[in-house]
Amino acid sequence: MKTSLRFILLFFAILQTATLAAQERYTLKAGDPNGISKWYMGRQIAQVMSHYGIGWLEREEREQEENTTQLLKNLAVQPGMSIADIGAGSGYHSTLLSKMVGNGKVYAVDVEPEMIAYLNDRIKREGKKNIIPVLGTEKKVSLPANSMDMMLLVDVYHEFSYPYEMALSMLEALKPGGKLVLVEFRAEDPNVPIKAIHKMSQQQAVKEFKAAGFTFEKNISNLPWQHCLIFRKPKN
């Protein structure tokens, strides 16, 4: 009986410690009205773009403004890969990736059921058989451990309500040595015509992903407005 009680007390002590650590990880305070009142490692988290922003995601000017063609070259996709498009939204990048992976798979992950419904309609309409919509949560990408060759996040990470937990979940889902490509509007460049809350600096991004266990590899700086930051899951 004493042994059982000791284990119960230990369990609750560990749970309390984990809860306190999570509370200390994030700071609640006011800031930019375009963000939420939650900060992580000195960065205010931005409001989420909902399914009401599909028109902006699919805008005709996107190729010119972001040079998606160059971004896809940066990814060095190989046929047969399993790639997760995290925060896939309308499937803008997922549909392009589906042409590149051949007999591979593209997992289009989003937290909004409305986005998943839109993706399902798009897949049916365009006959994309190698795109798999996945409904994630604010803390998990809902993908099997060690299953993804690559993850792509385009202008979405800065909106995660739980960036640390999501980074851990992405790290777990990547294969050892797997690649994560983070694309974010450059906070260092005042000429990028995007609200400051929706930008990230390289320094901030590297700091946050290293905290979750990723290794920073390089910044491919050939996009008009965005960083293209390459991270890896350690092989061991």
User: Can you give 113-156 as a three-state secondary structure string?
Assistant: HHHHHHHHHHHHHHCCCCEEEEECCCCCCCCCCCCEEEEEEECC
The torsion angles phi and psi of 131, rounded to 5 degrees, stand at: -105, 130
pLDDT at 3: 56
pLDDT at 6: 53
pLDDT at 8: 47
pLDDT block averages, 10 residues each, the chain of length 236: 51 39 82 96 92 77 93 97 96 96 97 95 95 98 98 98 98 98 97 96 98 98 97 95
Whether residue 93 lies inside any domain: the answer is yes
Q: Model-level pTM?
A: 0.88
Whether residue 179 lies inside any domain: the answer is yes
Whether residue 32 lies inside any domain: the answer is no
CATH number of the domain that 222 lies in?
3.40.50.150
Whether residue 104 lies inside any domain: the answer is yes
In the 8-state DSSP scheme, what is residue 201? -
What are the tokens at 188? 């260092």
Q: Which of 107, 152, 159 is nearest to 133 (CA)?
A: 107
Domain residue limits at 96: 47-232
Whether residue 34 lies inside any domain: the answer is no
Whether residue 16 lies inside any domain: the answer is no
In the 8-state DSSP scheme, what is residue 112? -
Whether residue 20 lies inside any domain: the answer is no
CA distances from 129 to 95, 99, 149 (A): 10, 10, 19
Start-to-end CA span in the chain (Å): 41
3-state secondary structure of 26: strand
Contact criterion met (CB below 8 Å) for 193 and 229: no
Whether residue 119 lies inside any domain: the answer is yes
- Could you tell me whether strands 199-200 and 174-186 are parallel, antiparallel, or unpaired per DSSP bridges? parallel
Domains held by the chain: number: 1
